[in-house]
Amino acid sequence: MSTGERDDTGTRRPPLSGLLVADFSRILAGPYATMLLADLGADVIKVEGPGGDDTRTWMPPVRDDVSTYYLGINRNKRSIALDLRDPEDLTVAQELAARADVMIENFKPGGLRRFALDYDSVAAGNPGVVYASISGFGSGAGAALPGYDLMVQAISGLMSLTGDPDGSPYRAGISVFDVMAGLHASIGILAALHHRGVAGQGQHVEVNLLSSALSGLVNHSSGYVAGGVVPYRMGNAHPSLFPYEPLPTADGELIVIAGNDGQFRKLCQVLGVPDLVDDPRFGRNQDRTANREQLRPLLVDRLRTRGKDEWFRDLLAAGVPCAPINTIDDGVAFAEELGLNPVVEVGDGAATVPSVRNPITFSTTPARYELPPPGLNEHGEEIRKWLTRN
């Protein structure tokens, strides 16, 4: 069905309706990618081993005895449990791959070859397939390395940038490169599907966490590659901007940002120190950055005269970017106040599961939230029947 076409009820279908995705991935990067595709209408069949996706056991926290980690990345999918070492199950898996528009996997590179589920084997019978592989360190010299996000945070250099300047390196609070790799995989899959629509041929899309990490380090990796500068840990400070960090107020810290000279001028006006703009040490961003140790106490002296909520209100009203340092519940509540509707109910009836909405908004073909994250092999029987009937 073409993008934007209406179904029998007159409702416009999501943009990826009619696309079959065979999801042989597990943990985070692959399931996150396929959930995004499923939200946009793709029929995602989640293939799990007999024990299920590892994240089913990653708890606490839980909801109704199910890991919320698993719930957060597996909505809108159907589950089938297959033991690839069992000949009958392997035949089912191969038939699914043969029919899929997209196949995605994150086994160790080459790990599916012995099951004839590697790209070359699948493409031999399904030349239009878009086959996406996610690994930790690529399919070359790094193929044998385990692909854990924390390893990549360490190896890529991210941890060297995170934490207090005189303290220990820290990991990010989430598996940031798993998420990035999932996003990159989704982009690669959609690009390959577009190519298939134009040229009539599928292809192999490869994404690895380390390459995603180096791309995602943006200004830091560019600073080294293009400028020869090795960045270092600066706590909450920014290497190229000031102020761009938490600053203390009378009752707690507030993120204060002057991303350009105009914002700094507004900041000084609200703080009641307009003369700082004319100080040659602070007039331009590069001057403020070079003289941050002289400027910081002057700003803090003014910020300490009032509470963070008052400053937040007045600075935002003046066009100065700033923010309280919230907990997750506060962040969700703030998004709700803005009308961003961050929480959706997935499924219908009494079996709905609250979930964080897909971040993309479409004017014509909205995301769907029809299927709650599936139980292990919940749809196994119907999928097997469908594969053998057609």
Residues serving a catalytic function are 178
The answer to whether residues 377 and 80 touch, using CB atoms and an 8 Å cutoff, is yes
The SS3 of residue 154 is helix
> Which amino acid belongs to residue 239?
P
- Give the residue from 267, 266, 223, 261 showing the smallest Cα distance to 241: 261
- Give the residue from 288, 253, 249 showing the smallest Cα distance to 271: 249
Q: φ and ψ at 53, to 5 degrees?
A: -55, 135
- Give the residue from 267, 268, 272, 276 showing the smallest Cα distance to 320: 267
The answer for residues whose C-beta is within 8 angstroms of residue 309's C-beta and 6 or more apart is: 324
User: Quick one: tokens of 353?
Assistant: 């599961």
Q: Where are the beta strands (DSSP E) in the chain?
A: 20-24, 43-48, 62-63, 66-67, 77-81, 102-105, 130-135, 203-208, 244-249, 252-257, 322-324, 343-346, 353-356
The answer for residues whose C-beta is within 8 angstroms of residue 382's C-beta and 6 or more apart is: 78
User: Quick one: tokens of 241?
Assistant: 């901007």
Crossing angle between the packed helical segments 209-216 and 218-227, to the nearest 10 degrees: 80
Which residue, chain included where needed, has tokens 């994404």? Answer: 207
User: Quick one: tokens of 266?
Assistant: 């507004």
The answer for residues whose C-beta is within 8 angstroms of residue 13's C-beta and 6 or more apart is: 1, 4, 5, 6, 7, 41, 365
- Give the residue from 134, 128, 58 showing the smallest Cα distance to 98: 128
Crossing angle between the packed helical segments 261-271 and 292-303, to the nearest 10 degrees: 40
The answer to whether residues 234 and 292 touch, using CB atoms and an 8 Å cutoff, is no
Task: Measure the CA–CA gap between 10 and 157, rounded to whole angstroms.
Answer: 51
